[in-house]
Structure 1
Amino acid sequence: MTIAGGIILIMLGAIFTWAVEFDIAGFDINVVGVILMLGGLAWLLFAIYRISVARRAVAPTTTTTVVEDPVTHRRVYEERGYTDPPVV
């Protein structure tokens, strides 16, 4: 519930601010609506930031190591998946 949660809070806050006429002593529904809209906007911006960071940080699935033997001048290719233990 990332972007959808922020949009829902903004919509709920807009409904409370402009569509609801409700009065209780010491309680203003318009202020609650504005607070919900600001919270929804902050949530929406944070969700967009999290999605953009997650898409940039893509880990490689495999690594390839090339080792050349100095005596025989042969190249050895070793390919490891990301779930394999590290090479010591």
Structure 2
Amino acid sequence: MSVGAGIALFVIGAILAFAVNLPNEFVDLTTIGYIMMGAGVVVFLIGVVLLVRRRQTDTVTRTEGAGAAHVTRSTTRSSNDDLV
């Protein structure tokens, strides 16, 4: 979801920065467009990082018996071939 939001922010910012030319004394739409494009890039990169981190799962199982404890750790990582 954040990847799409980042792309949308970037596109809207590019439209404001390069395509809209309205005379306005209060707000500079070009600057707002550049700010939105920068925010879109940041949101896109955060989304990609979170997407990569989500593909790793750690599971810890702890079983306690009469006198000893048994701990099992399992790590599952998916490869990039699963993305297709």
Q: Same fold (TM over 0.5)?
A: yes
Q: Which has the higher contact order (CA 8 A, sep 6+)?
A: 2
* Unpaired runs of at least 5, structure 2: 65-84
Residue aligning to 1:39? 39
Total equivalences in the alignment: 64
Percent identity (aligned): 25
Q: Which amino acid aligns with 1:8?
A: A
* Unpaired runs of at least 5, structure 1: 64-81
Residue aligning to 2:58? 59
Residue aligning to 1:7? 7
Which is richer in helix? 2
**TM-score of the pair, normalised by structure 2:** 0.68
Measure how far apart 1:23 and its partner are. 2.3
Q: Which amino acid aligns with 1:5?
A: A
For 1:30 and 1:58, the matched residues in 2 are separated by: 43
For 1:3 and 1:17, the matched residues in 2 are separated by: 21
For 1:47 and 1:35, the matched residues in 2 are separated by: 18
**TM-score of the pair, normalised by structure 1:** 0.65
For 1:49 and 1:4, the matched residues in 2 are separated by: 14
**Cα deviation digits, residues 59-87 of structure 1 (max 9, x gap):** 35xx8xxxxxxxxxxxxxxxxxx7xxx42
For 1:42 and 1:23, the matched residues in 2 are separated by: 29
